[in-house]
C-alpha cells in the first residue's frame, strides 16, 4: 500500500503568522492538469484591515532598523528563496508553462532581491542632498519611507512581479500589504513561508490572496495605506484612483493591458524605491 | 565698602510696579510711509495665448479689486473652454516646433533673461502684487518678487543639465502641462510652477487665481520682452470653472495644482482613470513646537512670523503653536505683547506688518472659524489695533487653551489665527504635531541640536524649520506628506515632477 502524502493547507502570511481568512471562505486552486490542488484563502475587507494593523505595528521598528540591517535581511530573503528554488518552480508550474521559464522566474526573483538589498544603504546617498540656500542654514533633503504601501501584484509572473513591487518598498523601511495574483496565488503563499524564515520582522510584508474584484475597492479606500502600487487594468485604475483621492494617497500604476517586462533592465530601478519615499527638507540654523 | 555692595544689590525702586513694556498703543501715530512706485497697471487685461494678449472669445471680463479698499483695479478676461483649447493648442505647437526641440543651454538663456527682467521691474511688480492681493508691500518687495526672480535664475541653470536629474535614467520633458495656482503668493507661485516646468523643456497653460491675476499677466509682458517663443507659456484667467477646464483638458501630460486640500481631492477624483501625472501642493495645519530651552524672544518672533506672515494666508503657516507647559504662560504673555504692537492696516504702507485679507469670501471664512473657536471654548485674544474702515481686515488673533479636538486645531483657517496647545514631553509634542491629516511643514524651537534632528526625523512633514519659520529658497524642495499633497517644488527633487524617465 502506498503512503498517502500529507498535503499542505495553504495559508496567507499576515502579521508574521499564517492565517486563514477571517471570512472562513476559500476558493479551490487547480494545477495545470485541472486536478484539485488546495483551498486558497479568499481574503476580505476584514483581513485587509487586520493586515494594515499588523503593518502599522511593524512599521516604525522596521523603518528604524539600520540600512545595513535591512540590506542583510533582504539578502537573507534571497538566500531563503534560492534554497527553496525547486519548490517555488513547482509552485509556478501550477499555472502551466515550461519548467525552464518557471525556474528562470525564480532565479530572477532572487536576483531582484539581491539588487535591492544592495540599494538599502545607498539610495539615500543618491536621492538626498544638501541644498545651498542663500541664508545661514544647513539645509538638507533626505528621504523617508511613506508608511504602509498597498501592492496589487500582476496576474502573470506571480512571483517575480510581486517581488518586483514589494522589494523596493521595503528596502527603504516601508511596510507592505499585498494582494497576490488571483489565478496563481500559490507562489505568494510559499513566499510567505520564506519571509517567515528570513529575519524580516512579522508584519513588514503581509500577503493576501483573494479576488481582485473584492479586494481592490478595499485597497482603494483604506485610509492608512499611504500609497498604492500595482499592475491593474483600466477599471481597477479608476477605482483605485478614486479611492486614493479621499485621503490623497500616492499612486503608481502599471497597466495590466501592457504589463512591464519583469525580466528587462528597467523592471528594477532606483526610481522604484523613490516611488514610495517622501522627501523631507530640514532647515538647521548655523551659528553659535 | 560693604555699604557700597549693599547699595548695588538693591534694585531701583519702581514702587512695586513691573518694568514697563514699550507699548504705546495709539499714543503716538506713525507717520504714513506709503510706497509710491507706479505699478503700471492696464485698465483691462486680456488672456495671454500664443505669445499675444488676446480678448476672450466670450468677450466677458470680470473686475479685480484692491482688497485694502475694495476699489476696482482692472478688468480681467474671463476665459471659456474655447480659450483654454486655444491655449493648449498653442502650448502643444510650441512644444512640437520650438521649445521641445531647443537645446537646454538656449532654454536656460530665456529663463535667465526672465529673472533679470523681473529684477529690473521688481518695485513695480511689488506694488502691483500688494494692490491686487493685499499683502504688506514690505513682504512683496522683500520676499515675493525677489524670490520669484531667484526661482527663474536657479532653474535656468538646470535647463542644460537634465542628465544630472535622475542618475541612470534618460530624462525627457513631459510635453504640455496644466497648472492652477492660488491667490496667496500670486507671482511667486507662478515662478514656482513655471520655472521648473520650462527648465525641463515643457510648455505650460497656467491659470492664476481669480482675485490675483495681475502679476501673472505682467509677467507675460516680461515673456514678450524676453522674446520667449509664442505658446511656451499661456495664461488663462477666471475662476473655478476655468481651473477645471485647465485640469481636465485632454492635452496636458501632467497637471499641477496648488490650493486647498478640498479642491485637490476634487481634481484627483476628476482625473481618476486618466493617465495624467499629477502633483498636488495642498493645505496644512503646521505645528510650531517651542521647547522650554528655546531662546524665547527669538521663538516669539518666529511664532509671529509663522502665523501672521502674509496675513496667515500661507499653506505652511505655523497655525498650531505647541508650547512646553513650563514656559507656556511666559510665551503667551510675550506673544500678546508682540501682537499688540503689530501694525495692521494699509498694505501699501511700508511699516505695515499685517495687510488686508485677500477677499471678502476669505474674510467670512476666517470669521466663521473664529466664531467656532470661541464657541468651542478656546480663550481668544485679539490685537486692539484700529482697522481701516474700508477693505477686508482681520485682527491678529490667538486662541489659548485649545485641544486637539477643537476645529481650530484641525482645520486650515488660512488667516491670522493661531491656536495654542501645550505639551509636557518630547514624545507628546511629536504625537500632537503628527496628529493631523496634513503634513506640510513644522517648526522646532530648542537650543539642542540633537533634539532638532530627532524632531526633524519624527515629524511627518515635508519641511521642518529649526529655530526659524517660513524660510524658502529655490534650492530647497518644498511639499507635503499625507493630505498636504505630493510632489516637490524647488531643488533637484522638484525637477523630477516635470520629467519623463526612460
Contacts of B430 in chain A (CB under 8 A): none
What count of CB pairs under 8 Å joins A to B? 119
Q: What is the mean pLDDT of residues A70-84?
A: 98
**For position B320, which CATH number holds?**
3.40.309.10
Rounded to a whole number of angstroms, the distance from the CA of B461 to the nearest CA of chain A is 7
Q: Does a structural domain hold residue B240?
A: yes
B486 contacts: CB under 8 Å, gap ≥ 6:
A248, A250, B278, B279, B280, B479, B480
The three cell numbers of residue B97 are 516646433
Considering the domain boundaries, does residue B476 fall inside one? Answer: no
Do B410 and B340 lie in one domain? The reply is yes
Per CB-CB distance under 8 Å, the chain A contacts of B258 are: none
**Does residue B473 belong to any structural domain of this protein?**
no
B364 shares its domain with B438: yes
pLDDT of A287: 86
Do residue B473 and residue A139 have CB atoms under 8 angstroms apart?
A: yes
CB atoms within 10 A of CB A69: 14
The domain in which residue B191 lies consists of: 44-282+482-501
d(CA B488, CA B475): 11
Q: Are residues B345 and B493 in the same domain?
A: no
Would residue B4 count as lying in a domain? no
CA angle B81, B87, B90 (to 5 degrees): 145
Residues from chain A that touch B502, judged by Cβ atoms under 8 A, are 266
Say what the ipTM of the complex is. Answer: 0.95
Co-location of B131 and B242 in the same domain: yes
Interface mutation target, options B146, B166, B270, B272, chain A, most CBs of A under 10 Å: B272
Active-site residue, selected from the candidate residues B190, B203, B315, B316: B315
Same domain, B116 and B214: yes
Say whether both B311 and B212 belong to one domain.
no
Distance, CA of A59 to CA of B458 (rounded, Å):
13
Distance in angstroms (rounded) separating the CA atoms of residues B122 and B493: 28
Cβ B80 vs Cβ B56: under 8 Å: yes
Residues of A with CB under 8 A from a CB of B: 126-127, 129, 131-135, 137, 139, 141, 144, 226, 234, 237-238, 241-242, 244-248, 250, 266, 269-271, 274, 278-285
Predicted pLDDT of residue B168: 87
Residue B419 resides in a domain: yes
B378 and B247 fall within a common domain: no
Closest residue on chain A to B279 (Cα)? A250
Q: Kindly tell me if the per-residue pLDDT of A114 is higher than 70.
A: yes
Residue B315 is a catalytic residue? yes
Q: Output the nine-digit C-alpha cell for B207.
A: 491659470
First to last CA, chain A: 86
- Interchain CB distance below 8 Å, B463 and A281: yes
User: Could you tell me if B218 and B310 lie in one domain?
Assistant: no
Torsion of CA A148, A154, A159, A161, to 10 degrees: -70
Residue B57 and residue B197 share a domain:
yes
pLDDT digit of tens for each residue in chain B (502 aa)? 444 444 555 555 555 666 666 666 666 778 899 999 999 999 999 999 999 999 999 999 999 999 999 999 999 999 999 999 999 999 999 999 999 999 999 999 999 999 999 999 999 999 999 999 999 999 999 999 999 999 999 999 999 999 999 988 999 999 999 999 999 999 999 999 999 999 999 999 999 999 999 999 999 999 999 999 999 999 999 999 999 999 999 999 999 999 999 999 999 999 999 999 999 999 999 999 999 999 999 999 999 999 999 999 999 999 999 999 999 999 999 999 999 999 999 999 999 999 999 999 999 999 999 999 999 999 999 999 889 999 999 999 999 999 999 999 999 999 999 999 999 999 999 999 999 999 999 999 999 999 999 999 999 999 999 999 999 999 999 999 999 999 999 999 999 999 999 8
- Which of B453, B478, B485 is the closest to A248 by Cβ? B485
Residue B26, helix vs strand vs coil: coil
Q: What is the pLDDT of residues B200-234, one digit of tens each?
A: 999 999 999 999 999 999 999 999 999 999 999 99
SS3 B477: coil
pLDDT on residue B22: 64
Is the domain of B119 the same as that of B235? yes
> Residue B30 domain-assigned?
no
pTM of the model: 0.94
Interval B18-45: pLDDT, tens: 666 666 666 677 889 999 999 999 999 9
What is the count of structural domains for chain B? Answer: 2
Collapse the DSSP code of B417 into the 3-class scheme (helix H, G, I; strand E, B; otherwise coil) and give the result: strand
Q: Which residues of A touch B493 (CB under 8 A)?
A: 127, 141, 279
Q: Indicate if B303 and B446 belong to the same structural domain.
A: yes
Residues in chain B with CB shorter than 8 Å from the CB of A254 are none
List chain B residues with CB under 8 Å of A241. Answer: 268-269, 271-273
A21 closest CA partner among A1, A39, A2: A39
Q: Is residue B8 part of a domain?
A: no
* B273, B457, B477 ranked by CB distance to A279: nearest: B477
Of A132, A144, A247, which is closest to B483 when you measure between CB atoms? A247
| Per-residue model confidence (pLDDT) at position B2 | 47
- Under an 8 A CB cutoff, do B463 and A284 touch? no
Tell me whether residues A245 and B166 touch, CB distance under 8 A: no
Provide the CATH number for the domain around residue B169: 3.40.605.10
Number of H helices, E strands in chain B: 17, 20
User: How high is the pLDDT of residue B30?
Assistant: 81
CB contact under 8 A, B493 and A279: yes
pLDDT at B6: 47
- B361 an active-site residue? no
In a domain, B393, yes or no: yes
Set out the domains of chain A in order of their start, with CATH numbers: 17-285 (3.40.605.10)
> How high does pLDDT run on average in chain A?
97
Instruction: Specify the pLDDT at position B29.
Output: 77
Note whether A133 contacts B473, CB cutoff 8 Å. Answer: yes
Model confidence at A1, in pLDDT bands (50, 70, 90)? confident
Can you tell me the mean pLDDT for A266-279?
Answer: 96
Q: In terms of domains, do B92 and B193 share one?
A: yes
Amino acid at each position: 500500500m502506498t503512503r498517502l502524502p500529507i498535503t499542505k493547507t495553504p495559508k496567507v502570511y499576515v502579521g508574521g503568522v499564517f492565517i486563514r481568512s477571517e471570512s472562513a471562505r476559500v476558493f479551490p486552486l487547480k494545477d495545470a492538469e485541472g486536478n484539485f490542488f488546495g483551498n486558497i484563502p479568499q481574503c476580505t475587507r476584514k483581513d485587509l484591515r487586520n493586515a494594515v494593523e499588523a503593518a502599522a505595528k511593524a512599521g516604525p521598528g522596521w523603518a528604524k532598523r539600520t540600512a545595513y540591517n535591512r540590506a542583510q535581511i533582504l539578502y537573507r530573503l534571497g538566500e531563503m528563496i534560492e534554497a527553496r528554488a525547486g519548490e517555488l518552480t513547482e509552485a509556478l508550474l501550477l499555472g502551466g508553462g515550461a519548467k525552464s521559464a518557471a525556474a528562470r522566474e525564480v532565479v530572477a526573483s532572487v536576483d531582484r532581491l539581491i539588487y535591492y538589498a544592495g540599494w538599502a544603504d545607498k539610495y539615500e546617498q543618491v536621492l538626498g542632498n544638501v541644498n545651498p540656500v542663500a541664508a545661514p542654514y544647513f539645509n538638507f533633503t533626505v528621504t523617508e519611507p511613506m508608511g504602509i504601501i498597498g501592492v496589487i501584484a500582476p496576474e502573470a509572473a506571480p512571483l517575480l512581479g510581486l517581488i518586483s513591487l514589494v522589494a523596493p518598498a521595503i528596502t527603504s523601511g516601508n511596510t507592505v500589504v499585498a494582494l497576490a495574483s488571483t489565478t496563481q496565488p500559490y507562489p505568494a503563499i510559499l513566499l510567505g513561508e520564506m519571509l517567515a524564515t528570513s529575519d524580516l520582522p512579522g508584519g513588514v510584508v503581509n500577503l493576501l490572496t483573494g479576488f481582485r474584484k473584492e479586494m481592490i475597492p478595499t485597497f482603494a479606500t483604506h485610509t492608512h495605506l499611504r500609497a498604492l502600487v500595482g499592475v491593474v487594468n483600466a477599471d481597477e485604475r479608476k477605482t483605485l484612483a478614486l479611492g486614493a483621492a479621499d485621503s490623497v494617497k500616492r499612486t503608481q500604476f502599471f497597466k495590466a493591458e501592457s504589463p512591464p517586462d519583469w525580466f528587462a533592465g528597467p523592471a528594477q530601478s532606483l526610481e522604484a524605491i523613490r516611488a514610495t519615499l517622501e522627501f523631507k527638507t530640514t532647515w538647521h540654523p548655523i551659528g553659535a | 565698602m560693604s555699604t557700597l555692595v549693599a547699595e548695588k544689590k538693591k534694585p531701583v525702586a519702581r514702587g512695586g510696579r513691573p518694568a514697563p513694556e514699550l507699548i504705546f498703543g495709539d499714543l503716538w501715530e506713525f507717520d504714513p510711509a506709503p510706497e509710491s512706485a507706479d505699478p503700471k497697471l492696464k485698465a483691462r487685461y486680456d488672456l495671454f495665448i500664443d505669445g499675444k494678449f488676446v480678448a476672450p472669445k466670450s468677450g466677458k471680463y470680470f473686475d479685480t479689486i484692491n482688497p485694502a479698499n475694495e476699489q476696482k483695479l482692472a478688468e480681467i478676461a474671463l476665459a471659456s473652454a474655447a480659450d483654454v483649447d486655444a491655449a493648449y493648442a498653442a502650448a502643444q505647437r510650441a512644444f512640437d516646433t520650438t521649445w521641445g526641440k531647443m537645446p537646454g543651454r538656449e532654454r536656460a538663456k530665456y529663463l535667465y533673461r526672465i529673472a533679470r527682467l523681473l529684477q529690473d521691474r521688481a518695485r513695480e511688480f511689488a506694488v502691483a502684487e500688494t494692490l491686487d492681493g493685499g499683502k504688506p508691500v514690505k513682504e512683496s518687495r522683500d520676499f515675493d518678487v525677489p524670490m520669484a526672480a531667484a526661482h527663474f535664475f536657479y532653474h535656468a541653470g538646470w535647463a542644460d543639465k537634465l542628465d544630472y536629474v535622475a542618475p541612470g535614467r534618460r530624462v525627457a520633458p513631459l510635453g504640455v502641462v496644466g497648472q492652477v495656482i492660488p491667490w496667496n503668493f500670486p507671482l511667486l507661485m507662478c515662478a514656482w510652477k513655471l520655472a521648473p516646468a520650462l527648465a525641463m523643456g515643457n510648455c505650460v497653460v497656467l491659470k492664476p487665481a481669480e482675485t490675483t491675476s495681475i502679476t501673472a499677466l505682467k509677467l507675460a509682458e516680461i515673456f514678450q520682452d524676453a522674446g520667449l517663443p509664442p505658446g511656451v507659456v499661456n495664461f488663462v484667467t477666471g475662476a473655478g470653472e476655468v481651473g477645471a477646464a485647465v485640469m481636465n483638458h485632454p492635452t496636458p501630460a501632467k497637471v499641477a495644482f496648488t490650493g486647498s486640500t478640498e479642491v485637490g481631492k476634487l481634481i484627483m477624483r476628476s482625473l481618476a482613470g486618466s493617465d495624467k501625472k499629477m502633483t498636488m501642493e495642498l493645505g496644512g495645519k503646521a505645528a510650531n513646537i517651542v521647547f522650554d530651552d528655546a531662546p524665547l524672544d527669538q521663538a516669539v518672533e518666529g511664532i509671529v512670523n509663522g502665523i501672521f506672515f502674509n496675513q496667515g494666508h500661507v499653506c505652511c503657516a505655523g497655525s498650531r503653536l505647541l508650547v512646553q507647559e513650563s514656559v507656556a504662560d511666559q510665551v503667551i504673555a510675550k506673544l500678546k505683547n508682540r501682537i499688540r504692537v503689530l501694525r495692521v492696516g494699509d498694505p501699501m504702507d511700508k511699516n505695515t506688518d499685517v495687510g488686508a485679507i485677500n477677499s471678502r469670501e476669505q474674510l467670512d471664512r476666517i470669521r466663521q472659524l473664529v466664531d467656532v473657536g470661541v464657541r468651542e471654548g478656546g480663550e481668544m485674544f485679539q490685537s486692539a489695533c484700529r482697522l481701516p474702515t474700508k477693505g477686508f481686515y482681520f485682527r491678529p488673533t490667538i486662541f489659548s487653551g485649545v485641544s486637539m479636538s477643537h476645529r481650530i486645531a484641525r482645520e486650515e483657517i488660512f488667516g491670522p489665527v493661531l491656536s495654542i496647545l501645550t505639551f509636557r514631553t518630547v514624545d507628546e509634542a511629536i504625537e500632537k504635531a503628527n496628529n493631523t491629516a496634513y503634513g506640510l511643514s513644522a517648526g522646532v524651537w530648542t537650543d539642542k541640536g540633537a533634539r532638532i534632528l530627532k524632531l526633524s526625523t519624527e515629524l511627518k512633514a515635508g519641511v521642518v524649520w529649526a529655530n526659524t519659520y517660513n524660510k524658502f529658497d529655490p534650492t530647497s524642495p518644498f511639499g507635503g506628506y499625507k493630505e498636504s499633497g505630493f510632489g516637490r517644488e524647488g531643488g533637484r527633487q522638484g525637477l523630477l515632477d516635470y520629467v519623463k524617465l526612460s
